[in-house]
Amino acid sequence: MPVDVLVGLQWGDEGKGKIVDVLAPTYDVVARFQGGPNAGHTLTFDGIKHVLHQVPSGIFHPHIINVVGNGVVLDPVVFRQELKKLTDRGVNWGQNLYVSRKAQLILPSHRALDRINEEARGGSKIGSTLKGIGPTYQDKIGRTGLRVGDILLSDFRERYQEAVARHATIAEFHGRGLEIEEFEADFFSAVEFLRTLQLTDTEYLLNDLLRQGKNVLAEGAQGSMLDIDFGTYPYVTSSSTIVAGACTGLGIAPRHINKVYGISKAYCTRVGSGPFPTELHDGVGEQIRTAGREFGATTGRPRRCGWIDLPALRYSIMLNGVTEIHLMKADVLDEFDEIRVCTHYELPNGEKTDHLPDYGDLEKLTPVYQSLPGWRTNLQEITDPQALPQQLKDYVHFLEQRLEVPISIVSVGPDRVSTLHMA
């Protein structure tokens, strides 16, 4: 059976968690392939909001196997907290959650380094979530990191102390100390908890399941425009957020990839620093932020808001080989008389392009907009896609024509039931 992959097409926060939750019942396995506790997947059902950070979004379905892949960086403290909240809400995750022994561990010293590094940047901050993600991936690439499987070794404490000593040297370079002593007891307690979970070589698990005819949904975090190679570098995350990352982050061959679900909001948002061509600094941007409750699920930071950006979307679609688009949060635009769409960029020399330039040129662009009529309808009351206002149908059709990919789902509210499958 195939592996279908779900990726964000913008700068993250597109609503991937909700879509995984909606699609999950048709899959045997949901596997997370990259990122760490810097992700915040929000799911709402039965009137209750659930925010997942490291646990795959299929965890609410008892029949689904949930896998934390080797491409993930795992914070044991956050992971334990997250699983405790699930237990308190009656979710029995004990039998269907597996964690890769090859996933990297986030140490307290990684979090300290993250803050020290970000503060050292002064006015050119990346906008890190300060969860230790970057320093952990740095250690992974530098071949000095600790992995989940290492907690099962008798000399894990010694390995930990060696890692902390290396990190202390880096901190000293900035004239700082790590100051992590108060966090270490909680960390080692969480490590003891982690040892009780199903830690395994998940690449074997996943490939065995595929041979058995099981189908897999691979779940990414962040968005394609934050990819370490193809995003708006250096204002990106530290992992591969595109479809290619699913292969390396889960240990599956490219030949298994089938459908690619690309998730996009009906507008754009971004958290942290970096270029954002269609960002709105006026009352319209604030109206979108308020209506969409655009505050980070992980950090609580207000998100920067703007109109939808088709050159950036086409770029992400190309990189991922997207086969269908799921358009999220269309209801946020309910009150607008006019919906604007960035179709091209104007370069400093006056030429127009529909290609996404590199970061250095991206800040010098002027977005070129086309206006479409708004729908002025409360979409959250609609449960039949045929009942959608014609203006929204026209908006969807316009996007499909420009992006050359069908839009198969339109989300008109936060709840599971507000997910309309288009004909």
Cβ contact 317:9 at 8 Å = yes
User: Where does 302-383 show beta strands of DSSP type E?
Assistant: 304-306, 308-309, 324-328, 338-346, 352-353, 366-373
Eight-state DSSP code of residue 211 = H
Active-site entry in 4, 13, 139, 227: 13
Confirm whether residue 169 is marked as ligand binding.
Answer: no
Confirm whether residue 49 is marked as ligand binding.
Answer: no
Confirm whether residue 241 is marked as ligand binding.
Answer: no
H or E stretch covering 98: strand 97-100
Confirm whether residue 39 is marked as ligand binding.
Answer: yes
Confirm whether residue 378 is marked as ligand binding.
Answer: no
Confirm whether residue 410 is marked as ligand binding.
Answer: no
Confirm whether residue 38 is marked as ligand binding.
Answer: yes
**Residue 68, strand partner residues:** 32, 99
Question: CA–CA separation, 109 vs 202, rounded Å?
Answer: 27
Confirm whether residue 411 is marked as ligand binding.
Answer: yes
Confirm whether residue 222 is marked as ligand binding.
Answer: yes
Exposure string for 264-273, b = 16+ CB within 10 A, e = fewer: bbbbbbbbbb
Confirm whether residue 300 is marked as ligand binding.
Answer: yes
Query: Which pair of tokens denotes residue 9?
Result: 């097409």
Active-site entry in 4, 28, 41, 326: 41
Question: CA–CA separation, 408 vs 420, rounded Å?
Answer: 8
**Distances in whole angstroms, Cα of residue 117 to Cα of each of 274, 298, 365:** 17, 20, 30
Confirm whether residue 302 is marked as ligand binding.
Answer: yes
Confirm whether residue 246 is marked as ligand binding.
Answer: no
Cβ contact 332:292 at 8 Å = yes
The answer for residues whose C-beta is within 8 angstroms of residue 121's C-beta and 6 or more apart is none
Query: Which pair of tokens denotes residue 365?
Result: 């662009």
Question: CA–CA separation, 262 vs 135, rounded Å?
Answer: 29
Annotated active-site residue 167? The verdict is: no
Active-site entry in 140, 167, 256, 265: 140
Confirm whether residue 238 is marked as ligand binding.
Answer: no
Cβ contact 275:359 at 8 Å = yes
Confirm whether residue 155 is marked as ligand binding.
Answer: no
Provide the residue type at 361 as one letter: D
Confirm whether residue 303 is marked as ligand binding.
Answer: yes
Confirm whether residue 14 is marked as ligand binding.
Answer: yes
What is the distance of C-alpha 232 from the center of its chain? Answer: 15
Confirm whether residue 301 is marked as ligand binding.
Answer: yes
User: Where does 70-204 show beta strands of DSSP type E?
Assistant: 73-74, 97-100, 104-105, 198-200
Provide the residue type at 85 as one letter: K
Confirm whether residue 413 is marked as ligand binding.
Answer: yes
Annotated active-site residue 13? The verdict is: yes
Can you say which residues are annotated as belonging to the binding site for IMP? 13-16, 38-41, 129, 143, 222, 237, 301
Can you say which residues are annotated as belonging to the binding site for Mg(2+)? 13, 40
Q: Which active-site residues does the annotation give?
A: 13, 41, 140
Can you say which residues are annotated as belonging to the binding site? 12-18, 38-42, 129, 143, 222, 237, 297-303, 329-331, 411-413
Can you say which residues are annotated as belonging to the binding site for substrate? 297-303
